[in-house]
Structure 1
Amino acid sequence: MKKTEQTIVLIRTAAKPLYWLLLGVSIVVFMRGHNAPGGGFIGGLLVSSTTLLWALVFSPDEAEARLPLKNSLKLAAVGVICAGVAGLPALILGKTFLTHYWLTIPIIDYPVSTVLLFDLGVYLGVWGVVSGYALALIRISHDGEQE
């Protein structure tokens, strides 16, 4: 086996657990963002790195297939919709748009804020936009190498 083939096997083998590690870290950063640094934007950037890693090691098409909606534009659109919907409870109750409210999930007795829905929208939106941009650049690069 040539040295480059060994390197490729090593990178592909390391990419699989690294993908899941980065995904887990992004979720932790997303969830702790209300009380400490982090949140939707930083979590979205971190989770975008999983898509970028997969695209560089395997292919942009395989990376896009791993996205939640299999399409970066749809993912970004769902993120924007989530962020917008987070402000609706305030409007319904006659308050200023994006005034946050808390409710408790009865089954698990866990308090949740509308801010979490807004942050989820930012997380998904950043993931979709950054991944879409990165995948487009990688595809351009791959097309240039094939010519």
Structure 2
Amino acid sequence: MTQTNDIILRTATTLIAFILLGFSIYLFFAGHNAPGGGFIGGLMTAAAIILMYMAYGIKAMEKILPINFRHMIPVGLIIATATGVGGILFNAPFLTQTFAYFQLPILGKTELATALVFDLGVYLAVVGVTMTIILTIANDRE
């Protein structure tokens, strides 16, 4: 089996993956006030990682990203559930959101909401599930 020259694919992947990851971070942070959030941000991140897997191969990516994506699923679910239970601890309904404004050094006056923590849990769960499914299918085909 001959190996093809995929310098163009790898160069384009580096740029496209960087753009996808940047956009996924934007979607993640915009999610509690605008369309977006943990689900679509997680899908965009998974798409960028899958693109890198396709360009560089599974063995190279396992060296670069030594992450077991199956561990991300329960961590994300625990974070999302804990956020929901947090409202019950303060005599509020399950998944009640609250927010406050904080003065941060570089960002200035910034709104921080519990929805962001919930979105983090969803984000981790979505990346974990998507990557586990895609990598399982890819490994079965070898």
So what's the TM-score if we normalise by structure 1? Answer: 0.82
Instruction: State the percentage of identical aligned residues.
Output: 35
Determine the C-alpha separation between the residues in 2 that align with 1:131 and 1:105.
35
1:10 maps to: 8
Determine the C-alpha separation between the residues in 2 that align with 1:9 and 1:47.
23
1:1-147 equivalent positions in 2, closer than 5 A: 4-5=4-5, 8-64=6-62, 70-107=67-104, 108-141=108-141, 143=142
Q: Aligned pair count?
A: 137
Determine the C-alpha separation between the residues in 2 that align with 1:10 and 1:24.
21
Determine the C-alpha separation between the residues in 1 that align with 2:87 and 2:113.
12
So what's the TM-score if we normalise by structure 2? Answer: 0.85
Determine the C-alpha separation between the residues in 2 that align with 1:66 and 1:118.
28
Deviations along 1:92-129, whole A, 9 cap, x unmatched?
11111111111333444322111111111111110110
Let me know the Cα RMSD of the aligned residues: 2.1
DSSP 3-state at the match of 1:86: helix
What stretches of structure 1 of length at least 5 have no aligned partner? none
What stretches of structure 2 of length at least 5 have no aligned partner? none
Determine the C-alpha separation between the residues in 2 that align with 1:12 and 1:119.
31
* Runs of 4+ off more than 6 Å: none
Deviation at 1:63, TM superposition (A): 3.6
Determine the C-alpha separation between the residues in 1 that align with 2:69 and 2:102.
31
Determine the C-alpha separation between the residues in 1 that align with 2:71 and 2:91.
31
DSSP 3-state at the match of 2:27: helix
